[in-house]
Structure 1
């Protein structure tokens, strides 16, 4: 905070504003102070471009937006993930700085020259008393746009002859970001990952008002002890903290423990956190569904079958491929029309069921199936449209490598490889539960 106050004294920013900025930027005072010193006096020309990089959720966007908003500097913040074309980017810049008439004057498909001419034309009518800032979040996506776009934005101040500065915010370093065509080098500013002590300090600020600050800080300490090894993302940790706090304070709410009974609280929350650790970043279910499942498990006991660690390691479409493989192995091929074709017409039960069929397919074991049948069932059971890309076939190979599928065709047979499903009913039931698919309705033996 003292560094920000000192920087404000030299740069002409109000002390009151800088105190508000420091309060909103915990553990990022150094980066904010460096950025302020780079920006300099609002009336003077700033550096043409700054490249700010660091891992996801390291505070880049937050620091820049807080500084610009609290200091009331003219700026526009653009997410490159939302700008599917350069036209949207140019339109947003001109609209923010010069109004709707400037944006409307652009052609439907503007070039870089059109944007520069439009900017210079309206800049002469609306001179800047302070530096204008263009902030580009997810800037690495600019590499997929016009080949010369980054080179132009880096030297935009020179091209439009205006006091404008461009901030590139990216998750990747400049060496990886730099375009192949070459360009001027922007000023680099790195945001390091938060340390464990900094995460403890930041997350403890979100304490629940019904409990003491020390109680919530002890909860965050336990949470970081479990998750810090696998996750340093502030947003993810904040989500996990909010999601699991109810379980942590459950013994206190029920009167079974006090806030100082650390051992009892740890024993209550430990298995819950370890199970939640398997879903970090995955978001297989919504927060509400997760909480409801925990309540059901508390009332009925843990679900048997597949453990959490086993099923969450599979990608989303791999689960549906495994479900399709199980159905292909244990359902007769003649029943596929009955299960997977919507308008199959009326099929009499006498014709549908084989005469004198008494032996369960599950007792006979899995039967081989061809690749085309597997893919046909897969495209029927998965809800979203999936293109038959190489990634789908690579996931089938991964299932074979994991020994969840068994390839039984000869290695020289390329036209129609055959497979068998190698998982149990309990296993596939637990997998299908994670994607909200009721597999029992599609199994021939359970009709």
Structure 2
């Protein structure tokens, strides 16, 4: 496949090394190389590369720029939260710290263009300079004139510079209403199952043969390919479950050629691991502890459907537990249940004598989002950062109708929720994570 990377301006040996590091992406790399041209040739002003997550966009462009030793600046739009940081990163990478120090405290686009042209007059471009913008969809939230200016930066600064935008969305969602220069578009398709097999099989374990690891990857893809095409997530799952796959081999029960027995041993484990897909907050240690706990308590989920048990992620269970506690416990009891050093509380004062009706008979009460998260961070075993994954799991629980969002659409304050599961359901969920929910329910004091 190295023949696809041919260019008269580069050595064949160097192009062959690049092709070896880009498995299943030689076609896209060859197209991109033909567009970029030789090091001293003028390139296209702007290139828009799009494709789904983990489709090789960043890897291909950075491998070409690094291996071919082309001057470039890489800017992450996630890290550069302001245009000042973006301008500073570009000048720092292309011209050094002296050029970046010339920027004023709050630079405008004209300041950046002026300093860039000054640096070009001192050190004109011998080779094409490249500016790679990762997560370029975030540029739409910055100044309105930034994206159109980057697309024709070559004209503004009068330098041989090419801006490469990397994004997961199509160009139609980028195009400003006022119009702009149209970049050259290049699409990176998803990896096929065979391509994923070829790439993941390269990560073979040194203690075992390449054929064994390849058969393991084939088993892994047979389970996960229908729900996950993300190369990085599949690589994480492969590393996480390989030790379980090799247990019969280490115990001497089977040989490497007994593929069927190895498959029967790993299949239940992989199906349970489907609940951790994309949930990277669960570490390998936590996952192993969870599996050991579930194996000891085989009858823990009698009242729970197999679908909910398998598909519900680990931290979603704690979010559902926190939602149940917030729905059926009065807000004034949170301090007693969830604050460690709350002081002494007399039970006669804590329990009101006139409260004869159980909260479970009255039904779930709405609660705000901040109370749900406060209870969640109190009951979860390990420290969890408030990432976007946690908030997306709350939306998933609403979609699954395990939580119900209450309130009107025009509500100004934070959203409120109700828990929509029964006591038997939440007790079954709690047993799977070894959490005694009855101790935290106000009605069972």
Shift of 1:310: 1.5
Over the aligned positions, Cα root-mean-square deviation in angstroms equals: 3.6
Alignment of 1:19-98 (within 5 A): 19-98=16-95
In structure 1, the residue matched to 2:363 is 368
Pair 1:112-2:95 in alignment: no
Say if 1:251 and 1:395 are closer, same or farther in 2 by CA, change over 3 A.
closer
SS at match of 2:203: coil
Greater mean alpha carbon deviation, residues 314-323 or residues 103-112: 314-323
Pair 1:121-2:118 in alignment: yes
Alignment of 1:179-218 (within 5 A): 179-218=176-215
Shift of 1:303: 6.5
> 2:217, 2:238 within 8 Å by CA — same for their partners in 1?
yes
> 2:275, 2:314 within 8 Å by CA — same for their partners in 1?
no
Q: Find the aligned partners of 2:92 and 2:369 in 1 and give their Cα distance.
A: 49
Shift of 1:285: 1.8
Post-superposition CA distance 1:61-117 (Å, at most 9, x none): 000000000011100111111110111111011111111111111111111111100
SS at match of 1:52: strand
Q: Find the aligned partners of 2:78 and 2:332 in 1 and give their Cα distance.
A: 47
270, 279, 284: which one aligns with 1:273: 270
Say if 1:262 and 1:100 are closer, same or farther in 2 by CA, change over 3 A.
same
Q: Find the aligned partners of 1:309 and 1:397 in 2 and give their Cα distance.
A: 14
Shift of 1:288: 2.2
SS at match of 1:124: helix
Q: Find the aligned partners of 1:382 and 1:103 in 2 and give their Cα distance.
A: 44
In structure 1, the residue matched to 2:410 is none
Q: Find the aligned partners of 2:84 and 2:38 in 1 and give their Cα distance.
A: 32
Alignment of 1:198-277 (within 5 A): 198-277=195-274
SS at match of 1:278: helix
Q: Find the aligned partners of 2:185 and 2:89 in 1 and give their Cα distance.
A: 25
SS at match of 2:166: strand
> 1:226, 1:274 within 8 Å by CA — same for their partners in 2?
yes
Q: Find the aligned partners of 2:102 and 2:298 in 1 and give their Cα distance.
A: 63
Pair 1:3-2:7 in alignment: no
Q: Which runs of 5+ in 2 are unaligned?
A: 378-383, 407-415
360, 381, 405: which one aligns with 2:375: 381
In structure 2, the residue matched to 1:412 is none
Q: Find the aligned partners of 2:370 and 2:128 in 1 and give their Cα distance.
A: 59
Pair 1:101-2:98 in alignment: yes
147, 152, 159: which one aligns with 1:162: 159
Q: Find the aligned partners of 2:275 and 2:420 in 1 and give their Cα distance.
A: 25
Alignment of 1:258-407 (within 5 A): 258-283=255-280, 285-298=282-295, 300=296, 302=298, 304-305=300-301, 306=304, 309-310=307-308, 312-313=311-312, 320=319, 323-326=322-325, 328-329=327-328, 331=329, 335-336=333-334, 338-339=336-337, 345-352=343-350, 365-368=360-363, 370-371=365-366, 378=372, 380-383=374-377, 398=398, 402=401
Say if 1:431 and 1:82 are closer, same or farther in 2 by CA, change over 3 A.
farther
Aligned length: 423
Q: Find the aligned partners of 1:106 and 1:23 in 2 and give their Cα distance.
A: 41
Larger of the two Rg values belongs to structure: 1
Post-superposition CA distance 1:407-446 (Å, at most 9, x none): 9xxxxxxxxx997864124624625865x97644423466
SS at match of 1:167: strand
Say if 1:204 and 1:132 are closer, same or farther in 2 by CA, change over 3 A.
same
> 1:318, 1:396 within 8 Å by CA — same for their partners in 2?
no
Say if 1:428 and 1:44 are closer, same or farther in 2 by CA, change over 3 A.
same
130, 133, 153: which one aligns with 1:133: 130
Shift of 1:125: 0.4
TM-score, normalised by the number of residues in structure 2: 0.84
